[in-house]
Structure 1
Amino acid sequence: MRLLIAALWMALASAVQAGPEADRTLDLIRLEAQMQIAREEGLQHAQTLNDDLLDGQGGALWAAQVDAIYDVARMAEGARGPIEALDPETLSRLNLFLDSDLGQRITELELAARRAMMDEVSEEAAARAFAALEGTDDARLTTARAVIEAGDLIERNVSTALNASFQFYRALVDGGAYDMTEAQIIDEVWSQEETLRADTEGWLMGYLLLLMQPLDADERATYLAFMKTPEGGALNAALFDGFGRVYSDLSFALGQVLALNMKTQGDHGSEL
C-alpha cells in the first residue's frame, strides 16, 4: 500500500513534460458521459414537477421544453471553463493519474455508481449498506468518509443545490408563477438546508461505498491519496465550479418554462 501511494505522489511531483492538457483531461473524466447522466437526472426531476405542479398535463410541449434545456453538448460546454483555466502543469500532472489503468477504472466506477443511484431500488440498497456499516471500523466506511472530507463534498454539494434552488424559485417568481420577495425566496431555500445536508451525506456515503466495492485496499488508498493531492483538489474544485454554473443555469431555465406552463393552466400569482 505504501509503495502504491509513494508511486502516485512521485508521479504527480515529477517534472512536467509536453503532453495533453485541458481537452485530454475532459476526455479522461468523461465529461459528456457525466452530463448525459445529469440530463437523465434532470428529466426525472422534470417528470416529478409535471406530476406535482402541472397535474401531469405538461404533455408534448413540456417534454420538448425540458428536452431542449437538458442539452448534453451545451451542458458540457458550460462546465469546461474552470478546467480549461487550470494551469498546464496541473493538467499535465492530473492526466498522469487519470490516464492510468486505476484512474480510468475509477472514472468508470464513478459513472456506474452515479447511474445506479438513479434507480430507487439501488439507492435504497446503497442506503441499507451504509446503515449496516455505520458505527463500525469497516475500512470502506473509513475511506469513504476520508474522501468526503478531502473533497469537502458535503459542503460543496449542499452549496450547489441551494444555489440551484434559489435560481429555480427566482425564475418561478420572475415568470409570475409565485408571488414572493427575494427575502422570502432565501428563507424558503435555507429552510431546506438541514434536510438537504442529511440527504446529501446519506447519498454520498451510499454512492462511495458502491463505487469502492470493487476496489481492493491498495486501490482505495491510492484513490484517497489522489484526492488529497493539490492536483486532485484543483480538479475537484474546478468540477464543482463548472457543474455549479451549469446546474444554476438549468434550474433557472426549468423554472422559467414551469412558470410559463403553470400560467397557461391558470395557476399563477399564487403564494408558495
Structure 2
Amino acid sequence: MLRLTVALWLALAGAALAGPEADTTLRLIHIDAQMQIARQEGLDHAETLNADMLGGQGGALWHSQVDGIYDVPRMVEGARAPIEAIDTATLERLNLFLGSDLGQRISDLELAARTAMMDPDSEKAARRAYAALQGSDDSRVKAARSIIDAGDLVERNVGTAMTASLQFYRALVDGGAYDMTDEDIMTEVWSQEEELRTDTEEWLMGYLLLLMQPLDADDRATYVAFMQTPEAGRLNAALFEGFGTVYSDLTYALGRVLALNLKTLGDGGQEL
C-alpha cells in the first residue's frame, strides 16, 4: 500500500507573490527527497503487483511503464500548487522555523524514519515499540499522539489511501481488465476502511516514535507546539492536498498499465 505520511515536514495571496517563499518552503521540507521515497515505494508496490497479478511476467515493458509513471520531477510539480497558494506572510513564518537548526534536524529525522519504515523488519520493530508503550504515560507516546491529533493525520491518510484505491479500481475498469460498477468499487474500497484506519494509526505511531528517538523532551515539546500552530495547519493541509492529487494520479496511471498488461497476457501474449 502506498503511504502518504505528513507529520511536520510533509507536516493558497497570488502565486507570483508567494513563489520565492514557496520555493524556500519546498526546499526546507526536502520535497525532492520525499518524492524520491514515494517513487521507491511505488516501484516496490509495482513489483508486488507484477508477482501477484501478472505472474511475474511483466517483463521489460512493465518496468519501463512503471518507471515512467513514478517520475520525480513531475511528482514534485504536481504537489507544488497548494504550497504556492499559501500567503507569503504565512510562508515566511513557516520558513523561520523550518530553516532553524531544530527544524532541519527534524526534517532530516523525518526522512530517515520514512526510509527506515520501508524496510519490513524496521517497520515491525517500530510497530512493536509502539505496542509495548501503548496506553502508558510515556512522554514520547503523548507527543506522537499530539502531533497526529494536530494534523488529523490518521483521517487524512485514510482518506488519501481510500481515494487512491478508488482510482486504482476505476483504472482497471476503464482499461477493460475488470468488470465492476461504481457501486461495486465503492463497496470494495469502503470494506477496507476499518482495517486501514487501524493499520494507519499503528504505522504513524511507530514512525513518530522512531523519528523522535534522538530528540530530548524540550525538542519534542517544541515540535508539538509548532504542529499546533495555524501556520503548520495550513502547511499540513496544503501538503495533503498536493500529495493526495499526486497519489491519485499515480495510482490511476498504474491501474491503467496493469490493465493493459493483464489484457495482453490474457489474450495469450508472451512476456512483455
TM-score (ref. length: structure 2): 0.91
How far off its partner does 1:266 sit?
A: 0.8
Are 2:139 and 1:107 aligned? no
Q: How many Å apart are 1:255 and its aligned residue?
A: 0.2
Name the aligned partner's letter for residue 66 of structure 2: V
- AA aligned opposite 2:136: T
2-structure distance, mates of 1:238, 1:107? 17
Aligned to 1:243: 243
Pairwise CA distance, 1:187: 0.6
Conserved? CA contact 1:19–1:92, under 8 Å = no
Contact 2:127 2:202 in 1 (8 A): yes
Q: Matched residues in 2 for 1:267 and 1:212: separation?
A: 52
Matching residue of 2:93: 93
Q: Structure 1, residues 59-104: CA drift from partner, whole Å, max 9, x if none?
A: 1111000000000000000000000000000000000000000000
- In 2, are the aligned partners of 1:177 and 1:267 still within 8 Å (CA)? no
Q: What RMSD over aligned residues (CA atoms) do the two structures have, in Å? A: 1.4
| Aligned partner letter, 1:84 | E
Which residue of 1 is the match for residue 117 of structure 2? 117
Corresponding residue of 2:225: 225
Q: Report 1:6-17 matches (<5 A).
A: none
Contact 1:140 1:212 in 2 (8 A): yes
Q: Deviations over 1:93-144 (max 9, x none)?
A: 0000000000001111111100100000000000110011012100000110
Displacement of 1:37: 0.1
Equivalent position amino acid for 1:167 in 2: Q
Distance 1:54 1:96 in 2: 49
Name 2:145's counterpart in structure 1: 145
Equivalent residues in 2 for 1:52-71 (5 A)?
52-71=52-71
Which residue number in structure 2 is paired with residue 8 of structure 1?
none
Q: Secondary structure of 2:266's partner?
A: coil
Q: Which amino acid is the alignment partner of residue 169 of structure 1? A: Y
Partner of 1:37: 37
Give the residue type in structure 1 aligned to 2:125. Answer: A
Q: Any conservation in 2 of the 1:156–1:240 contact (CA below 8 Å)? A: yes
**Contact kept? 1:151, 1:227, Cα under 8 Å:** yes
**Which segments of 5 or more consecutive residues in structure 1 lack a partner in the other structure?**
1-17
Post-superposition shift, 1:154?
Answer: 0.1
CA contact (8 A) 2:19 2:84 kept: no
Q: Flag as ranges the 4+ runs of structure 1 deviating above 3 A.
A: none
Name the aligned partner's letter for residue 76 of structure 1.
V
> Which digits, 9 at most, give the CA deviation of each residue in 1:152-183, with x for residues without a partner?
00000000000000000000000011000011
Give the Cα separation in 2 of the matches to 1:24 and 1:248. 26
Q: Secondary structure at the match of 1:265?
A: helix
Q: Deviations over 1:221-252 (max 9, x none)?
A: 00000100010000100110000000000000
Structure 1 pair 206/142, CA: closer, same or farther in 2 (3 Å)? same
Shift in alpha-carbon separation, 1:267–1:203, aligned structure 2, 3 A:
farther
Gaps of 5+ in 2: 1-17
Deviation at 1:20, TM superposition (A): 5.1
Q: What is the identity, as a one-letter code, of the residue corresponding to 1:216?
A: D
Q: Which whole-Å CA distance do the structure 1 matches of 2:259 and 2:145 have between them?
A: 40
**CA–CA separation in structure 1 for the residues paired with 2:261 and 2:197:** 31
* Structure 1 residue aligned with 2:12: none
Measured in 2, the distance between the counterparts of 1:144 and 1:88 equals 29
Q: Quick check: 1:212 aligned with 2:191? A: no
1:196 is aligned to 2:196: yes
- Number of residue pairs matched? 251
Residues 10-38 of structure 1 show CA distances to partners (whole Å, capped at 9, x for unaligned) of xxxxxxxx995100001000001000000
Identity of aligned pairs, percent?
Answer: 74
The match for 1:27 is: 27
Match of 1:130?
Answer: 130
Cα distance in 2 between the residues matched to 1:19 and 1:50? 40
Inter-partner Cα distance in structure 2 for 1:265 and 1:41: 25
Contact 1:79 1:246 in 2 (8 A): yes
Deviation at 1:267? Answer: 7.1
